[in-house]
Structure 1
Amino acid sequence: MILTQLPTEFEQAKPIIETIEAAGFEAYFVGGSVRDTILGKPIHDVDIATSAFPAEVKSLFKRTVDTGIEHGTVMILDHGNGYETTTFRTESGYQDFRRPDQVTFVRSLKEDLKRRDFTINALAMRANGEVIDLFDGLADLDTRVIRAVGVAEDRFHEDALRMMRAVRFASQLGFTIEPATAQAIADNAQLLTKIAVERTRVEWEKLLLGQQPVRGLQALVASALYRYMPQMADQAPMLTKLMALPTWHLASVEEAWTLLVWLMGLPNEAAIRQLLKAWKTSNELIDHVMAAWQVMTALQHDSKLAPMTLFKAGAAALKTANTVANLVGFGQPQATIDAAYEALPIQDKHALALNGGDLLKQQVVKPGPRMGQVLAQLLTAVVNGKVSNESSALLDFARMVADTEND
């Protein structure tokens, strides 16, 4: 197969390959960018594999960065772009099921491609668009099949994360995992515990954001792979609910985790935090999901959200909450939520027309916890429309609050 219309990203990278070839070495585009080009999907990073050893690659270009030179990877900087260029290599001795004990640089493209995870990712392409297919990856692309290169169990023992990648590709591409590969995942699922949570989380999130997530979830459940994911061992009921939802597609990791938390039926913020901490998510994501969960809890009981619920959540979490609520059956038109939020007197606490310094200057309160309490009451009063957001009105209200406390 020769691809005659190459994406701009490949055209821009051609001089890299041509420079390497002119020096007497082989060089090819490899990996997901080749696969996605054949499938007609947009590509992102362009990766290059070459028979040139790292020192030889570095000698050919003025600007390079040793991004992973111990594994043969050099970043070539060219016209504002960076191209990861990796020497053909073989790997051996995967004692931790995550990384090789030994990497050996070789001059053979076939030796390099045979260590790849799946046949659809073991494709190489020359600068002229000619696809090199040594493991029937084109046939598997045509039949929409995910098949391990060589012996599936060997591939998963080399890097157990490949099992998660298989179910993730099922979701992203809408492909089916072929029986021998699927059986190897089921047989080796427990090896997922050897993988860093952060790596597993990336694949899990990509699965949930895929075009056909149910296909990936079905493979996840059939293999029992989910049982070896953080706090997921007893979540078969949640996964069943997830797969049973009407056709759905999530747009962000915030939506994904909010949906999971909701379907798990977690009882409170402490349980939500515990789950998300176990998955090593960011504090920002935890705060977002908890805010969205609070909005969903309110929406479930009352279609009209209270002003302070709207204010505390903020626009982003409100959108997440309502998107997920619509998926599970009790959301509202997004325009209704947006209008209610925009109608708030203020959307940010910093927009309050009176601050702590003003309270001190006017001798309403003294420095200390009480100042924060008065400001919180001012904020609530403004958001609820009980006091206008004007300094004189707020000052009067603050004095009243302080006097009441002193009585």
Structure 2
Amino acid sequence: MILFDHQFKQALPIIDKIEEAGFEAYFVGGSVRDTLLNKPINDVDIATSAKPNEIKEIFPKTIDVGIEHGTVMVLWKDASYEITTFRTESTYQDFRRPDTVEFVRSLKEDLKRRDFTINALAMDRDGKIIDYFNGQKDLENNLIKAVGIPEERFFEDALRMMRGVRFVSQLNFSMDSETEAAIHKNHPLLEKIAVERIQVEFVKLLLGSGRKQGLELFIRTNLFYYCPGLKDSKKELEEFAKLDCVIENRIVAWVLLIHYLNKTSDDVELFLRAWKCSKKEINQVKLAMIALEHRLKNNFNRQILYQTGLQVSLDVETVMECLGYPIDFETVHKLYQELPIYSKNDMKIDGNDLQVVLNRKPGKWLGDLMTEIEATILSGELPNEKPIIVEWVSTHYTKDA
């Protein structure tokens, strides 16, 4: 029997109410797997023999989050739980979504459509594990193995190939040889999957504790061939796979990858746009790459720290550490704290003030002058005090300049 995590305990009334109504209900999937691995869980999923309309009759507050596929969200005591009806699925013409879904009353029928044995586990309200496909044995052997015939699982959902490689990295497991062979054979199916979904799995792969194994498998099965910007980079990816360090976050992951691909800060936008990254993330990685290019030749200075920001600067220092260079987080913190300003908004003068001082209409000169004042304040040559800035402007510029 399993000692329940508090999240399972909180969800037990959901299980109880479903069972009181005459249906079966179980905890399923990742939360059961992670509990058996003594890892923290983020949320719990519940599978049931009750159909969606029956769940809606049992609980007063529900949301139809995916009712066509059997999922109803139950709102219960300031928490929400996704309840999914046992189901089987038809053919998958797009290699991602089933053409039709059929609700069933059998837990085994439901579990056999899952991707990997370690995810095809269920647990009842008493902590008893239901394991039809030897998932517990594969957990003990640190093995990622497809449920049933691997090729069928990947034809149902081609993203499962990336998920399998990601689990190898995330859990620091190995992959079953038959499952790996099926990925290698069917890797072109990845072309059918939206880049956004591939990106989620790829980044998780890069952040995993078993990244080396995961990347080597990613390369060996040729999945990289259908990922943006990686098709012709096998050697670079092999070198990247040898890197022995913990990758802390997405920015560090992208910067290290881009560095190993021998791309520059000018290449970042095109590369990450192809990966469907957010504009915010693209900008952060661009700043980091510019800072890294500087940092590989020099220490941080005020200007680079100012334009990069503290967190991204620390990420760059982490990248330097991964690359084997001497680093100094404490100095980065100290230099940043000593900056006279952290953005243009901190300047004690604005465009309206400058127009009054110089008696000039707005124009390109205004932005240029603000930038010059900003740089002069940053260099320490000009205190960030309005009267002194006004005097400096009056001295350096004439009204009709």
TM-score bracket, shorter-length normalisation = over 0.9
Q: What's the CA shift for 1:404?
A: 9.9
C-alpha RMSD of the superposition: 1.3
Partner AA of 2:52 in structure 1: P
Given the alignment of the two structures, is residue 62 of structure 1 paired with residue 60 of structure 2, yes or no? yes
372-381 or 256-265, larger mean C-alpha shift = 256-265
Query: Structure 1: which amino acid aligns with 2:343?
Result: D
Secondary structure of 2:83 counterpart: strand
The question of 1:249 aligning with 2:246 is answered yes
**Distance (Å, rounded) in 2 between the aligned partners of 1:182 and 1:11:** 37
Which runs of at least 4 in structure 1 moved beyond 6 Å after TM superposition? none
Task: Write the mapping of 1:3-402 to structure 2, written as runs, cut at 5 A.
Answer: 3=2, 5-246=3-244, 248-269=245-266, 271-303=267-299, 305-402=300-397
Distance 1:306 1:174 in 2: 39
| TM-score, normalization by structure 2 | 0.98
**8 Å contact 2:48–2:85 — kept in the other structure?**
yes
Residue type of the alignment partner of 2:251: E
- Measure how far apart 1:339 and its partner are: 1.2
SS of equivalent residue, structure 1 residue 67: strand
Give distance in 2, aligned partners of 1:70 and 1:161: 21
Question: C-alpha separation between the residues in 2 aligned to 1:359 and 1:403?
Answer: 12
Query: Structure 1 residues 344-353 or 391-400, which shifts more?
Result: 391-400
* Contact 1:299–1:331 (Cα < 8 Å) also in 2: no
Partner of 2:81, secondary structure, is: strand
Report SS of the residue matched to 1:362: helix
**For residues 139 and 245 of structure 1, what CA distance do their matches in structure 2 show?**
31
Task: Tell me the alpha carbon deviations over residues 129-153 of structure 1, each in whole angstroms, 9 at most, x when there is no partner.
Answer: 0000001101101111000000000
Q: Distance in 2 between matches of 1:42 and 1:293?
A: 34
Which residues of structure 1 form unaligned runs of 5+? none
* Contact 1:120-1:146 at 8 Å conserved across structures: yes
Larger displacement relative to structure 2 (360-369 or 208-217)? 360-369
CA distance in 2, matches of 1:365, 1:267: 41
**How big is the shift at 1:399?**
2.7
Instruction: Quickly say closer, same or farther: Cα 1:298–1:307, change in 2 above 3 A.
Output: same
Work out whether residues 230 and 278 of structure 1, in 8 Å CA contact, stay in contact via their aligned partners in 2. Answer: yes
Aligned residue pair count: 401
Counterpart code for 1:282: S
* SS in structure 2 at match of 1:353: coil
- CA deviations 1:150-208 (Å, max 9, x no partner) are 00000001000000000100011111110000000000111111101110000001111
Report the CA distance shift for 1:55/1:206 in structure 2 as closer, same or farther (over 3 A): same
User: Identity over aligned residues, as a percent?
Assistant: 44
The TM-score normalised by the length of structure 1 is 0.96
Contact 1:171 1:211 in 2 (8 A): yes
The one-letter amino acid paired with 1:262 is H
Q: 1: CA distance between counterparts of 2:142 and 2:353?
A: 66
Displacement of 1:398: 2.2
What amino acid is aligned across from residue 177 of structure 1 in structure 2? M
Could you list the per-position Cα deviations for residues 310-337 of structure 1 after superposition, in whole angstroms to 9, with x for gaps in the alignment? 1100111101111111111235211111
Deviations 1:45-86 (A, max 9, x none): 100000000000000001110000000000011111110000
1:83-137 CA distance string (max 9 Å, x none)? 0000000011201101000101111111100000000000000011000000110
Question: How much has 1:365 moved relative to structure 2?
Answer: 3.5
Task: Show structure 2 runs of 5+ residues with no match.
Answer: none
Query: Counterpart of 2:256 in 1: which secondary structure?
Result: helix
Distance in 2 between residues matched to 1:21 and 1:228, nearest whole Å: 46
- CA distance in 2 between counterparts of 1:365 and 1:350 reads 22
Deviation at 1:298, TM superposition (A): 0.7
Relative to structure 1, the CA distance from residue 401 to residue 285 in structure 2 (aligned partners, 3 Å threshold; closer, same or farther) is farther
**Which secondary structure state, in structure 1, belongs to the residue aligned with residue 358 of structure 2?**
coil
